[in-house]
Amino acid sequence: MIQQRQGFVLMTALVAMLIIAALVSATAMRVDEERRASRAITLQHVALASAEGAVWRTFVSADAQMLRAAPIGLSSQATSTVDGLTQKVTVTKIDTAMVWIVGSTQIQHGREVAAHRVALWALLPSDTISTRLTPLPGGAWADLY
């Protein structure tokens, strides 16, 4: 004798569809979170590279003679736009033979914002003939945020 199970197959199919729908939703949410995290990391890397580039360009083009003649504590700031990114660079003379170059970049992409700030300590040349700065030996770069 065969027992009739009315609705059993239908109920099993509905439960299976619910489980599959839950798995698809969870996968879609996970992919969206991964995409957001990847975008945030990429924006942070772009902000870091932009800030470092601004500091490096300032370091290479700095006039050591003018900085040597400047009083201690003198600070100058410049803002530029490179590849659509606004970069701010501040050069401060912190000693008779040392300057501090700080560069920052902030990027906004939709609702996400990434900012980075780096600094470079540089030594002024000891002679009056040289016109180039030298990075501080043993750790010239600082990642401020």
> Taking the model in full, what pTM does it have?
0.75
From 122, 118, 87, 89, select the one nearest 105 (Cα to Cα). Answer: 87
Residue 104 has pLDDT above 90, yes or no: yes
Round to whole Å and give the CA distance between 8 and 101.
74
Q: Quick one: pLDDT at residue 102?
A: 95
- Least confident among 34-38, 46-50, 132-136: 132-136
Give the 3-state secondary structure of residue 106: strand
